[in-house]
Amino acid sequence: MLDFSKDCMFDFSTNKVIAHRGASAYAPENTLTAFDLALAYGAEWIEFDVMLSKDEEPFILHDPSLKRTTNGQGILSEVESSYVKTLDAGNWFSKQYKGEKVPHLKEVLKWLIFSDVKANIEIKPCRGFEEKTAVVVLSYLQRYWPSESPLPLISSFNHEVLTLCRNLSPEAPLGLLVHSWDGAWQKQAELLNCTTVHMNQRILNKERAKEVKDAGFQLLSYTVNKRSLAEKLFSFGVDAIFSDYPDLCLA
């Protein structure tokens, strides 16, 4: 197995800001418009979330519930894809975006390939859909991602998902998400052969950042929406930040 933590580092030298769910401060999160806008603001990376509908179709959505970011009702894993495709995913943000759709993973992969934007795919399985979500995401990458291009970074809070991804796709770069400080993070990241560790900015300090870097991982931090905080984290050695403002650190 390749040692991703040391041999497959990502290059964040020209832009250390990853557009969190696209340009989600300016457009409805996890939509193609948010991704287009992130690109327009100079983003080289975007992050988005993938979940499955009842009939196991992969959609770009953060919450299990449809209520916050669409005009739909219910839980994504309990409704059919045909229903999801009818929903408005933009009007909640602004009337300007009325009619925006919940993107399907296939659409977004095609957008990434066409736009030449790097991606962090966060797998957020609904309960009971852990294995299915991992398998579907990897199968779509196998079918639609160019074999000559580096695979997107796959991350998750769910260790079962990451373990499945590592077993099913030994070549995939993985990122371990850490929301609350846990001394076991290094053991988990090493067992999964992760490239990156993604930490909540609230739990990071200079010592903890050094611990991650000294262990040989790239350190990413979320969600950072103030330039002063971004600069502080960069001074700790953080490689890149997730931000709702893809233009946060641009001159």
Burial string for 51-73 (b: 16+ CB within 10 Å, else e) reads bbbbeebbbbbbbbebeebbebe
Non-local CB neighbours of 113 within 8 Å, separated by 6+ positions? 144, 145, 146, 149
Of 38, 193, 15, 56, residue with least CA distance to 115: 38
Task: List the Cα angle 21/37/155 in 5-degree steps.
Answer: 25
First vs last Cα of the chain: how many Å apart?
A: 41
Which of the 8 DSSP states describes residue 72?
-
Residues serving a catalytic function are: 20, 62
* Cα-based distances in Å from 20 to 62, 102, 132, 183: 11, 16, 24, 26
Of 245, 242, 193, residue with least CA distance to 220: 242
Strands 58-60 and 153-156: unpaired
